[in-house]
Structures are given as structure tokens and as C-alpha cells.
């Protein structure tokens, strides 16, 4: 029997993080727990699962490798992945309605909605570069950041936003966490539904007073420098 060396195991399992259940949610009737997890300790694609708490039987709900998602991740999503040291692909986070009957998630910047009982999957057309989709408690509306725009849409007709807030300058953003909150306080979110779904708490971030720095990559000295706001 041959065993891989520790460095090889560490690399193959991406710091022993693959195959680990995450983002656990229990249904209101306490019958089912939903979670994200890859199929094995060496599979980098995270899927959405359900586990029946009476029988212990697991059920695969969504395998994102079967989706035809071709959009690109937004800058905000890439920043969150870097802060969380996220190395897995697929469904790395998701949100559900209050009753845990439906869930939404992004894959490659596209939003998808899934019926958690049947596994029926629907693309929610809100635009490219979608980030941090959040369902209203009744599951009928969706709050999401797309590029530099914050939207609230009806699940039934997502192409026509109910609310649309666009940044009025390169330094302002709606619905995302400010740098200090995300980097130092562990808060990655910038919008929240009220428990009854009638209101939204929404962050508006203005970085205009913050100094701008130019960062170069020593490993790629030929690449253009990156400008970023840093307090």
C-alpha cells in the first residue's frame, strides 16, 4: 500500500478542506438538514445536498458541474473568495427561503434557483456577474448584486427589477460589505431581508475619502498594476 506524502495530500485536498460539509441549514420541521459539500476529499466541485434526519440518507440536489454557466465571477465575489481562502468551485454558498423549500446560489456569476424537494432547477436571469443572492422569507423575491448594481426582482419575472440602485460613482457601492467589515470583522454581507420580507437593510459604501494604492505582482512584473482603496 502506497500513501501519498503530506505535501501531496495537502495539495490534493486543498488544505484538507474538500469533502467537508459547510453552510448547514435545518428545515423548520427539523426533518432535513441542507448543506454544501463536494463528493469526495479530492473533488474540488462543491454540490448542494440534503440529509433526512430520521434515516440519515443523503440526497444530492444539485451538481454544478452539470450546469452550463459561462459568466465570470464579479470582483466582489473574487474578493470574498480570497478573504475566505476559498479554493473549491461550484456552490460555495447558498440561501433559502424561510421554509427551506427553495434555494438560490451562483455559479460563475449566474444565479440559479432550485426546488429543494424535487431538485427542479431554474436559471434566474438577473444579468452577468451576480453576487450574494438572497431570497425573501416567502421565496417570491430575490435581492442580488450584479456588477455595480443592487437589484430586487420577482422570481416570477426577474428581467424587470422591482428595485434597482446603481452606483453614482466609481467609489460608491450598494449592497456589499465595506473593506474594513469584510477584511477585519468577518462580515461579508451588505444586505438583509426583514423577517416578514417587507423591508431590506442595505449598506451603501462610499470609498471616496479612502487613499488609493497601486499594487504590482512580483510574480508577474509585466502585468499592469492593480489600484485599490486601502485605509
Residue with cell 423548520: 28
Domain that holds residue 159: 6-229
Whether 46 maps to a domain, the answer reads yes
The fraction of the chain above a pLDDT of 70, given in percent, is: 90
Q: How far is CA 139 from the centre of its chain?
A: 17
Beta-strand relationship, 89-90 and 45-52: parallel
The fraction of the chain above a pLDDT of 90, given in percent, is: 50
Whole-angstrom Cα distance, residue 104 to residue 13?
A: 27
Whether 78 maps to a domain, the answer reads yes
Q: How many CB atoms lie within 10 A of CB 231?
A: 11
Residue with cell 495530500: 9
| Residues forming beta bridges with residue 103, ordered by sequence position | 96, 114
Whole-angstrom Cα distance, residue 220 to residue 203?
A: 35
Whether 137 maps to a domain, the answer reads yes
Whether 159 maps to a domain, the answer reads yes
Whether 28 maps to a domain, the answer reads yes
Full-model pTM:
0.84
The overall average pLDDT reported for the chain is 87
Three-class secondary structure of residue 12 per DSSP: helix
Whether 1 maps to a domain, the answer reads no
Return the exposure string of 15-39: e unless at least 16 CB atoms fall within 10 Å of the residue's CB, then b: eebbbeeebebebeeeebbbbbbbe
Whether 33 maps to a domain, the answer reads yes
Beta-strand relationship, 200-202 and 191-193: antiparallel
pLDDT digits (tens, 9 = 90+) for 56-104: 999 999 999 888 665 566 666 666 666 556 556 788 889 999 999 999 9
User: How many domains does the structure of the chain reveal?
Assistant: 1
Whether 70 maps to a domain, the answer reads yes
Domain of 37, CATH number, reads 2.140.10.30
pLDDT digits (tens, 9 = 90+) for 14-40: 777 777 888 999 999 999 999 999 888
* Residues 190, 193, 199: CA angle, nearest 5 degrees: 110
Amino acid at each position: 500500500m502506497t500513501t501519498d506524502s503530506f505535501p501531496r495530500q495537502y495539495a490534493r485536498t486543498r488544505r484538507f478542506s474538500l469533502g467537508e460539509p459547510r453552510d448547514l441549514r435545518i428545515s423548520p420541521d427539523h426533518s432535513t438538514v441542507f448543506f454544501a459539500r463536494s463528493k469526495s476529499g479530492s473533488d474540488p466541485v462543491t454540490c448542494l445536498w440534503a440529509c433526512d434526519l430520521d434515516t440519515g440518507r443523503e440526497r444530492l440536489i444539485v451538481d454544478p458541474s452539470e450546469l452550463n454557466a459561462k459568466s465570470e465571477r464579479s470582483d466582489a465575489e473574487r474578493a470574498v473568495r480570497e478573504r475566505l481562502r476559498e479554493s473549491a468551485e461550484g456552490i460555495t454558498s447558498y440561501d433559502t427561503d424561510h421554509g427551506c423549500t427553495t434555494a438560490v446560489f451562483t455559479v460563475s456569476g449566474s444565479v440559479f434557483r432550485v426546488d429543494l424537494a424535487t431538485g427542479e432547477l431554474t436559471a434566474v436571469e438577473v444579468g452577468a456577474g451576480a453576487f450574494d443572492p438572497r431570497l425573501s422569507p416567502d421565496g417570491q423575491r430575490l435581492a442580488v448584486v450584479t456588477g455595480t448594481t443592487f437589484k430586487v426582482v420577482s422570481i416570477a419575472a426577474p428581467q424587470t427589477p422591482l428595485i434597482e440602485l446603481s452606483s453614482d460613482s466609481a467609489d460608491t457601492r450598494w449592497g456589499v460589505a465595506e473593506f474594513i467589515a469584510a477584511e477585519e470583522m468577518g462580515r461579508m454581507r451588505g444586505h438583509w431581508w426583514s423577517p416578514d420580507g417587507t423591508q431590506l437593510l442595505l449598506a451603501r459604501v462610499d470609498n471616496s475619502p479612502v487613499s488609493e494604492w497601486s499594487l504590482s505582482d512580483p510574480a508577474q512584473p509585466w502585468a499592469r498594476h492593480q489600484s485599490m482603496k486601502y485605509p
